[in-house]
Amino acid sequence: MRFARFACGALVGVLGLVGTTLRPNAAEERYKAQIDALRKSMEKYKDYKVAVRDLYLSTVGCVHYSGERLAGHMHYPKGAMGIHFVNLTIRGAPDPMKPNVLIYEPVGKELRLVAVEWLVPLKADTKKRPSLFDKSFDGPMEGHEPLIPKAYVHYDLHAWLFKDNPLGMFAPTNPDVSCDGYDFSLLEMPTRIMPGP
């Protein structure tokens, strides 16, 4: 009996350990139902034409980063963001169920929906850094040239809903996303970090 109890305790200990190492980050787990609901509602945008009809408009370039570190700039680990489709009609505080950017990866002749993003401009009346799912937004940072003017200082948060990201669900770049073979591939420099509230 004593042995059984010990064995049981040991098993719980081992399972606990496995649980800690395999557990996705706490925010993802805590918001799993909401993230699942978001993924479900975004699924229709797997067809980019549906996205365009809903005014998510393509910015054409497939953006990727070399992983280079520059002082005072965002650190983007080597990887791609992909092609951003931006909906300028979605404004105001970030709505977890209504991201204003969709991200596609060019695969052969197709565009595959891989992520969504919330893009929030820094305004004179911004009081604090936005956050969703307990995740603080990145930034504030300058606009990403050449596709977004430098003067567009903003915060953003990516969520890799449709393609796993080894760097995490909310990392800005995904090393498993590629712009290779796509005509409008754009290697971007990391963006400059700007002072915020």
Contacting residues toward Cu ion, per CB under 5 A: 81, 117
Residue placing its CB nearer to Cu ion in the complex, 35 or 86: 86
Beta strands 57-65 and 185-187: pairing type?
parallel
Residue placing its CB nearer to Cu ion in the complex, 31 or 137: 137
- Smallest gap from Cβ 173 to Cu ion, in A, equals 8
The span from the CA of 64 to the CA of 42, in Å, is 23
Residue placing its CB nearer to Cu ion in the complex, 31 or 138: 138
Residue 56 CB neighbour total at 10 angstroms: 23
Residue placing its CB nearer to Cu ion in the complex, 15 or 95: 95
CB 137 within 8 A of CB 129: yes
Burial class (CB in 10 A: 0-12, 13-18, 19+), 13: exposed
- Smallest gap from Cβ 103 to Cu ion, in A, equals 6
- Smallest gap from Cβ 154 to Cu ion, in A, equals 10
Tell me the residue number closest to Cu ion, measured at CB: 81
Beta strands 138-141 and 154-159: pairing type?
antiparallel
Residue placing its CB nearer to Cu ion in the complex, 105 or 117: 117
Give, in degrees to the nearest 5, the angle at Cα 106 between 104 and 110. 100
- Smallest gap from Cβ 158 to Cu ion, in A, equals 5
- Smallest gap from Cβ 84 to Cu ion, in A, equals 6
